[in-house]
Amino acid sequence: MKPQDIYGSLVFNFDVMRSRLPKETYMALQQTMATGRRLPTEVASTIANSMKDWALEHGCTHYTHWFQPLTGITAEKHDSFISPLPGGGIIMEFGAKELIRGESDASSFPSGGLRATFEARGYTAWDPTSYPFIKENILCIPTAFCSYDGQALDKKTPLLRSADALNRQALRILRLFGNYEAQRVTAWVGAEQEYFLIDKSLFERRRDLKYTGRTLFGSKAQKGQELSDHYYGSITPRVSAFMRELNEELWKLGIPAKTQHNESAPAQHELAPIYESVNIASDHNQLMMEILKRTALKHEMICLLHEKPFDGINGSGKHNNWSLSTDQGVNLMEPGLTPAEDAQFLLFLCAILKAVDEHADLLRLSVASASNDCRLGSHEAPPTILSVFLGDELTAILDALENHRTYVKETVADMSIGVHVLPKIPRDISDRNRTSPFAFTGNKFEFRALGSSMSIAETNTVLNTAMADALQQFADILEAAEDFQLAREELIINTIKKHKRIIFNGNSYHEDWHKEAKKRGLLHLQTVADCLPYMTLDENIALYARQKVYCETEIYSRQDVLGENYCKIISIEAKTMLDMARQEIIPAIVRYSKLLGESAALKQALLPQEPIAEAGTLSTLNQLTKNAFSACDDLDKSLSNVPLDEGRIACANYCRDILIPSMAQLRQSCDIPEKIVARDLWPFPIYEDLLSST
């Protein structure tokens, strides 16, 4: 089938609606999608009926409200369309009520105490700004998930709220520049998705991969990524077949999968879609992760989305490319054609510097997880210090502005100087920096700290909110100013002065940067445990309240869920390690030792005069076995002392300070013998096998 024939074929999109809905209904829905306004019930009822007919024609028998609880993955509960008739028999039914609102016994989803146990239900509400689609013969309706008193139990609701906040404030700025045409400003996001593929039969033999998604043991393969021969390398036929099917499945769902290539690490790949408005991009990324996994299975492979499946080689991230654009398609992150447009660009740029500098803690929190902790700060992953890369030229322009100088580009003689000190900003800034967590790439910002398994919703909620808040403060000042032009220049200069410490164009991987960042007073929050307390700082609660994104209880609930998740994941990893070490690894070492011992004894009897070759290794293994036993006992003890009664933050600190070092100790004591014990006695596939299995 041709891509143009299958693209969007499983989506109840504008084309389908236009051909199926009465004109007024279609117009009303379009209005709702464009403005986020409420949908009248009669309209919803007509839409529901038409949606059902369409779904039945595509072989569906069930529908589900598809939502994104705080687990970070998606949830669905299927209901069939059947409705019994009085005289026997059934009809297929689906009304406005079922479309717009669903109920869900949500007591098993994490809510961080938001839902009292006596009120276990939550409800899902249709998000008409995201298209319904068909997945595995189920009609899926994208929904928000809330408690009965309206508190958000999901990741979509705050994202939608933050998009509204951003729109409100960005429009105020545009109006100041005389733009009365724009009706909506939206964040656009392209999320590049990295992942690993390994053979399913090998995966099945490793309990760590099965239970935790990453390897908890394993010494480095002889050949990792040193030769850089995997990056952009030719794709194996098996992976190629997988990618072909993956693209088709994604295209059917209207997900614009565009770029695919091998990544730096062996067995690692990347898929990038074309950017979309943030809410759709977020839904689509959730779907993409699910379809990656499902399609891999069809090819007898496992898709690992964990941020750090293998030690010693690159982990997987999800680059969040983010820009703002008006409903007329003007990208506000792009230098303009005229001095006034450049001034507007600079104002938005300054708002970003302010947003990232003031809310670095929240951005860091939005990418915090036990699994991303394993990735950030090592092997080609951005450090846990937030900074912004602007490139030399843009930085020089800001520098000139700040010091009331005129920027002169050495090689370009003629410059158009606009208002006051503003130079013409080049539109083709092409500097690239691959080490920065937050890099300007010409017409968008690329946030690289997001982890491969995470929902993009939270990061974009923070970006939108922080940006909205900066723009609000700007608009307050500028609307009250007598001379807009003068006030705006002053504002730009003051903002540069105040927030330039967040700009860093150098190598973020280098340890010199850590020292420099400390001098600049930038935050360096290395683990979930470190950032957890920042979530509920007064200023953060105030920010979210001001922008109407989270209320206080919603923030506390998220802190609770993050802390709980962190501790649970680390405990599961620790228990898995113990089982593997005691039941598989130590027995293998013992078996090999026995073999060596038997051989040694034999030689001793036959060749009593000669030194025994096995003795040295046997003695080493004996010591290593001892180490492994004692590391197991230590970890066991650490596990039984988790301070469960002392609250999330205490538990998280305990995980960071006691459990994780204890796990590292056990890993080390088991990874060394892996290199010594006979290959056929080692109980599970090693890195070398896993990384070349597809």
Residue nearest to ligand ADP (CB): 190
Task: Look at residue 275 and give the partner it binds from ligand ADP, Mg ion, none, a contact being a CB closer than 5 to 8 Å depending on partner kind.
Answer: ligand ADP
Q: Is 376 exposed, middle or buried (0-12, 13-18, 19+ CB in 10 A)?
A: buried
| Alpha carbons 518 and 512: distance in angstroms, whole number | 10
- Work out how close the CB of 616 gets to ligand ADP at its nearest, in angstroms, rounded to a whole number: 51
Residue nearest to Mg ion (CB): 319
From the list 463, 471, 339, the residue with the least C-alpha distance to 401 is 339
From the list 475, 487, 468, 490, the residue with the least C-alpha distance to 175 is 475
Q: Which is nearer to ligand ADP, 139 or 187 (CB)?
A: 187
| Alpha carbons 134 and 10: distance in angstroms, whole number | 5
Q: Which is nearer to ligand ADP, 158 or 317 (CB)?
A: 317
Using the structure block, give the residue that is written with the tokens 């890099």.
439
Q: How many angstroms from the chain centroid is the CA of residue 653?
A: 23
Q: Which is nearer to ligand ADP, 189 or 202 (CB)?
A: 189
- Work out how close the CB of 264 gets to ligand ADP at its nearest, in angstroms, rounded to a whole number: 13
Contacts of residue 439, defined as CB under 8 A and 6 or more positions apart, other chains included, come to: 388, 389, 432, 433, 445, 446, 448
Kindly identify the residues of this chain, within the stretch 312-331, that bind Mg ion according to CB under 5 A.
319
Task: Look at residue 474 and give the partner it binds from ligand ADP, Mg ion, none, a contact being a CB closer than 5 to 8 Å depending on partner kind.
Answer: none
- Give 25-44 as a 3 state SS string: HHHHHHHHHHHCCCCCHHHH
- Work out how close the CB of 186 gets to ligand ADP at its nearest, in angstroms, rounded to a whole number: 10
- Work out how close the CB of 53 gets to ligand ADP at its nearest, in angstroms, rounded to a whole number: 34
- Work out how close the CB of 192 gets to ligand ADP at its nearest, in angstroms, rounded to a whole number: 6
Q: Which is nearer to ligand ADP, 257 or 304 (CB)?
A: 257
From the list 37, 230, 51, 9, the residue with the least C-alpha distance to 127 is 37
- Give 295-364 as a 3 state SS string: HHHHCCEEEECCCCCCCCCCCCEEEEEEEEEECCCCECCCCCCCHHHHHHHHHHHHHHHHHHHHCHHHHH
- Work out how close the CB of 441 gets to Mg ion at its nearest, in angstroms, rounded to a whole number: 7
Q: Which is nearer to ligand ADP, 272 or 585 (CB)?
A: 272
Task: Look at residue 188 and give the partner it binds from ligand ADP, Mg ion, none, a contact being a CB closer than 5 to 8 Å depending on partner kind.
Answer: ligand ADP
Number of residues near Mg ion (by CB under 5 A): 1
Radius of gyration of the chain (CA): 28
Q: What is the DSSP string of 275-296?
A: PEEHHHHHHHHHHHHHHHHHHH
- Work out how close the CB of 280 gets to ligand ADP at its nearest, in angstroms, rounded to a whole number: 12
Kindly identify the residues of this chain, within the stretch 229-288, that bind Mg ion according to CB under 5 A.
none
- Work out how close the CB of 294 gets to ligand ADP at its nearest, in angstroms, rounded to a whole number: 22
- Work out how close the CB of 446 gets to Mg ion at its nearest, in angstroms, rounded to a whole number: 5
- Work out how close the CB of 445 gets to ligand ADP at its nearest, in angstroms, rounded to a whole number: 8
Task: Look at residue 323 and give the partner it binds from ligand ADP, Mg ion, none, a contact being a CB closer than 5 to 8 Å depending on partner kind.
Answer: ligand ADP
- Work out how close the CB of 485 gets to Mg ion at its nearest, in angstroms, rounded to a whole number: 36
Q: Which is nearer to Mg ion, 131 or 275 (CB)?
A: 275
- Work out how close the CB of 181 gets to ligand ADP at its nearest, in angstroms, rounded to a whole number: 20
| Furthest CA-CA distance within the chain | 103
| Alpha carbons 561 and 648: distance in angstroms, whole number | 9
One-letter amino acid at 205 equals: R
Q: How many angstroms from the chain centroid is the CA of residue 563?
A: 17
Q: Which is nearer to ligand ADP, 274 or 415 (CB)?
A: 274
Q: Which is nearer to ligand ADP, 322 or 687 (CB)?
A: 322
Q: Which is nearer to ligand ADP, 35 or 259 (CB)?
A: 259
Task: Look at residue 72 and give the partner it binds from ligand ADP, Mg ion, none, a contact being a CB closer than 5 to 8 Å depending on partner kind.
Answer: none
- Work out how close the CB of 556 gets to ligand ADP at its nearest, in angstroms, rounded to a whole number: 32
From the list 126, 122, 125, the residue with the least C-alpha distance to 147 is 122
Task: Look at residue 464 and give the partner it binds from Mg ion, ligand ADP, none, a contact being a CB closer than 5 to 8 Å depending on partner kind.
Answer: none
Q: Which is nearer to ligand ADP, 189 or 368 (CB)?
A: 189
- Work out how close the CB of 447 gets to ligand ADP at its nearest, in angstroms, rounded to a whole number: 11
Q: Which is nearer to ligand ADP, 189 or 574 (CB)?
A: 189
Task: Look at residue 282 and give the partner it binds from ligand ADP, Mg ion, none, a contact being a CB closer than 5 to 8 Å depending on partner kind.
Answer: none
Q: Which is nearer to Mg ion, 407 or 438 (CB)?
A: 438
Main-chain phi, psi angles of 239, to 5 degrees: -70, -35
Contacts with ligand ADP by CB under 6 A lie at 188-190, 192, 272-275, 321-323, 331, 441, 443-444
Structure-block tokens of residue 133: 């689609």
Structure-block tokens of residue 654: 């305990």
Q: Which is nearer to Mg ion, 238 or 258 (CB)?
A: 258
Q: What single-letter DSSP state applies at residue 500?
A: G
Contacts of residue 18, defined as CB under 8 A and 6 or more positions apart, other chains included, come to: 26
Q: What is the DSSP string of 417-462?
A: --STTPPPPPS------SS-SEEE-SSSEEE---BTTS-SHHHHHH
Task: Look at residue 453 and give the partner it binds from Mg ion, ligand ADP, none, a contact being a CB closer than 5 to 8 Å depending on partner kind.
Answer: none
Strand partners, 154: 69
Q: Which is nearer to ligand ADP, 374 or 456 (CB)?
A: 456
Q: Sort residue 8 into left (φ over 0), alpha (ψ -120 to 50) or beta.
A: left
Structure-block tokens of residue 409: 């580009």
Task: Look at residue 306 and give the partner it binds from Mg ion, ligand ADP, none, a contact being a CB closer than 5 to 8 Å depending on partner kind.
Answer: none
Task: Look at residue 443 and give the partner it binds from Mg ion, ligand ADP, none, a contact being a CB closer than 5 to 8 Å depending on partner kind.
Answer: ligand ADP
Q: Sort residue 151 into left (φ over 0), alpha (ψ -120 to 50) or beta.
A: beta
From the list 321, 312, 345, the residue with the least C-alpha distance to 225 is 312
567, 652 Cβ separation under 8 angstroms: yes
Q: Which is nearer to ligand ADP, 212 or 264 (CB)?
A: 264
Q: Which is nearer to ligand ADP, 272 or 652 (CB)?
A: 272
Task: Look at residue 331 and give the partner it binds from ligand ADP, Mg ion, none, a contact being a CB closer than 5 to 8 Å depending on partner kind.
Answer: ligand ADP
- Work out how close the CB of 75 gets to ligand ADP at its nearest, in angstroms, rounded to a whole number: 26
CA atoms within 13 A on the CB side of 327: 11
| Alpha carbons 627 and 589: distance in angstroms, whole number | 12
Site pattern 277..316 for Mg ion (x: CB under 5 A): ----------------------------------------
- Work out how close the CB of 308 gets to Mg ion at its nearest, in angstroms, rounded to a whole number: 20
Task: Look at residue 664 and give the partner it binds from ligand ADP, Mg ion, none, a contact being a CB closer than 5 to 8 Å depending on partner kind.
Answer: none
Q: What single-letter DSSP state applies at residue 367?
A: T
Q: Which residues bind Mg ion (CB under 5 A)?
A: 319
